[in-house]
Structure 1
Amino acid sequence: MMSAQFQIHAESFRSVLIEMVYCENGADIDTTAGQDYKSMAHGSAFVYRLDGKDRLITARHNVTGRHWQTHEFMGGYHIEPTHLRVMFFKDPPEKWVVTLSEDDPRRGGIQVLLQQYLVPLIGPDWKPIWNQHPQLGGEMDVAEVPFNPPADVVCMSWERTGDRSGPEQASWPAQLFPGEDVFIIGYPYRLTSGPAFPLWIRGTVASNPIFPYYSDGKAYPLWLIDARTRKGQSGAPVMRHRPPGTLVFRNDGQPARMPVPDSDLLGVYSGRTSDESDLGFVWGMDHVDEICRNGVPGTIDPDPSARSCAVGEELTTSNLEPQERSVRP
């Protein structure tokens, strides 16, 4: 067998496949037993760093099980989930064992160790420990889940694009316009690339982000994207991307080509306007930052047939219980 080398974009490490699960014992569960929870649905999330702190960002309806406009339970849910099941790479790519077949150079093998965790959405009192927007509340379909990434796994965070004021730098345009290409980095139908990487779904900006989205007489601070998105991508990051070789203009006005990949985080994807439409919702990062800095405890719309949750305490890393497994694509 021969060793092989390959490259993977950092953006693919920043999205997280999540599984919404319900544990009958609430936050007090032995996650290593693997039998006391019920799978409800799958979605996407990403680790976001702001002001030096990491957290999980996803669609609010993933943590409530309810449609953000109708407040009704969505398919797969009859009660709110109690945990998010997440998965990270145990080792960085340079430690992966990749081999090529001596008989066929087009074929190879890779063995990767993945580590899974149950991230609580509720505290011991069954009240939510995730946060929502301080003013919009349930009118914004984004949630922040407190999360301290374990130190012994590969966990890469998204951060907002920093200042690029140098004359030889190429800053991103301040405004986003209709017709521009963007990417949704998530997991449609729980599909993955390779061992556990997300799919990059291309879309175009459909509405001007400076204007709100109007529905049933209400204005929402979101913009629309035209893309072939499907179930499982809600909660995924939306970005614009410049691959190596892309022609850009530097701040000094001189043309140049990108020497390395470059991405700009734009917002959170949270589903389509209807099952028949390819138009989807994107919530901008300015409002996500407001949740991270000044968010309030999540609320659940009351339903007499289900156990509801309310305010809770902050999560610490000690609440995370690991499960390891080996994956061979």
Structure 2
Amino acid sequence: MARPPYNLRLGGNTHHQFELQFPSFIDVLSLSCSPILYFNRQNELMNDRHASGSFMTIRGRKFLVTARHCLSGRDAFHDDPMDRNLFEPHKIRVFPSLRDERGNVRRTTADIILRDDDNTPQWLEDPEFRAFRTDIACVEIPENIQNNFVTVEEGYSEPALFTHTGSSCFVVGFPSKNFADPYFPIWRRGAIASEPRIPIDNKPIFLIDAMTSPGMSGSLVVQREFGPAALRQPDGSLSTNAMAVVTTKVIGVYGGRVANSDALGDIGYCWYENRIRSIAR
């Protein structure tokens, strides 16, 4: 009887019995990204669903940032249940990276309660959610488990990096659950597919052309330019950081794909990164 094709587990150890081919540097965006696993109120792990999120430090506070629907179980636009069984997550499990005093990094496990005994949500959402339907949520990490967390720090991004139609971008997340410790994400490459100056549907949304999967909901969307990149100056003019090797800017949170049956179904939509700061205030 023929065996099924071998299914590669995505992830792997940092120590090997063979010579490595690539430099040892690991991107902080990969270290700060985590899959999200779900538990119901009976504390049962829901094996058929997962999402993506990233740890960020905003004004000295550490948060898990993801899509709101990944925590609420409800569509952001209509607030309808996304699961036909009306499943609402009660607890999530995430896998933060910890850095020791020698700079070595390892993954650990952390569980975060999403609703208290009165079913009150424990996450933060956009203070203008009713107006914009912003599908972003932030969960503050409890102090007793946040020591030495690797996060995307404020100031990591180059805010002046010029974003235009066709700019390269990456969705950094977990397209499947077939991951092994230390849970490094997949970087799905895409391009800005709408005019950044024109918000989609009068909401803080832009479009990307990228191959994505439902499990990547909540992923950070990152613009990354290799070599000289265009920077926007305060007066609106452009300059070039001619000596730069890599220039990076977190530009959004991936929400999902445009819900159309035609060709637009392959287009992803993302929420503005600047709404994260509004939420974390």
Whether the TM-score (by the shorter chain) exceeds 0.5 is yes
Structure 2 match to 1:286 = 274
| Residue 36 of structure 2 is aligned to residue 18 of structure 1 | yes
Structure 2 match to 1:8 = 26
Distance 1:221 1:188 in 2: 24
Distance 1:61 1:182 in 2: 23
For residue 270 of structure 1, the aligned residue among 248, 255, 271 is 255
Residue 188 of structure 1 aligns to a residue whose secondary structure is coil
1:73 deviates by: 2.6
CA contact 2:157–2:250 (8 Å) conserved in 1? no
Distance 1:15 1:155 in 2: 9
| Residue 220 of structure 2 is aligned to residue 213 of structure 1 | no
Distance 2:32 2:210 in 1: 21
1:154 deviates by: 4.4
| Residue 86 of structure 2 is aligned to residue 86 of structure 1 | no
For residue 127 of structure 2, the aligned residue among 107, 119, 134 is 134
CA contact 1:15–1:45 (8 Å) conserved in 2? yes
Larger mean Cα displacement after TM superposition, 45-54 or 229-238: 45-54
CA contact 1:160–1:264 (8 Å) conserved in 2? no
Distance 1:48 1:95 in 2: 19
For residue 223 of structure 1, the aligned residue among 177, 194, 206 is 206
Structure 1 match to 2:7 = none
CA contact 2:114–2:123 (8 Å) conserved in 1? yes
Q: Which of 1 and 2 has greater Rg?
A: 1
Larger mean Cα displacement after TM superposition, 176-185 or 1-10: 1-10
| Residue 226 of structure 2 is aligned to residue 240 of structure 1 | no
Q: CA RMSD in A?
A: 3.0
| Residue 57 of structure 2 is aligned to residue 49 of structure 1 | yes
Distance 2:251 2:223 in 1: 7
Q: Which amino acid aligns with 1:120?
A: I
CA deviation digits over 1:200-249, x for unaligned, max 9? 011111111222212xxxx3221111110111111011111134xx1347
| Residue 177 of structure 2 is aligned to residue 203 of structure 1 | no
Alignment of 1:1-329 (within 5 A): 6-24=24-42, 36-39=43-46, 41-75=49-83, 78-90=86-98, 95=104, 114-137=107-130, 139-148=133-142, 150-151=145-146, 154-161=149-156, 171-173=160-162, 176-192=163-179, 195-214=182-201, 219-243=202-226, 246-248=227-229, 256-259=242-245, 261-274=246-259, 277-293=265-281
Distance 1:283 1:74 in 2: 19
Question: Using CA pairs below 8 Å that are at least 6 residues apart, which structure has the higher relative contact order?
Answer: 1
Residue 144 of structure 1 aligns to a residue whose secondary structure is strand
CA deviation digits over 1:282-319, x for unaligned, max 9? 111222211111xxxxxxxxxxxxxxxxxxxxxxxxxx
Distance 2:250 2:197 in 1: 17
1:75 deviates by: 4.2
Q: Which runs of 5+ in 2 are unaligned?
A: 1-16
1:190 deviates by: 2.7
CA contact 2:161–2:229 (8 Å) conserved in 1? no
CA contact 1:87–1:115 (8 Å) conserved in 2? yes
Change over 3 Å in CA distance of 1:42–1:81 after alignment to 2: same
Distance 1:188 1:287 in 2: 24
Q: Which amino acid aligns with 2:219?
A: A
CA contact 2:188–2:211 (8 Å) conserved in 1? yes
Residue 288 of structure 1 aligns to a residue whose secondary structure is helix
1:139 deviates by: 1.2
Residue 256 of structure 1 aligns to a residue whose secondary structure is coil
CA contact 1:46–1:236 (8 Å) conserved in 2? yes
Q: Which runs of 5+ in 1 are unaligned?
A: 25-35, 97-112, 165-170, 294-329
CA contact 1:240–1:263 (8 Å) conserved in 2? yes
Distance 1:235 1:290 in 2: 17
CA contact 1:268–1:282 (8 Å) conserved in 2? yes
Structure 1 match to 2:9 = none
Q: Which amino acid aligns with 1:54?
A: K
Residue 18 of structure 1 aligns to a residue whose secondary structure is strand
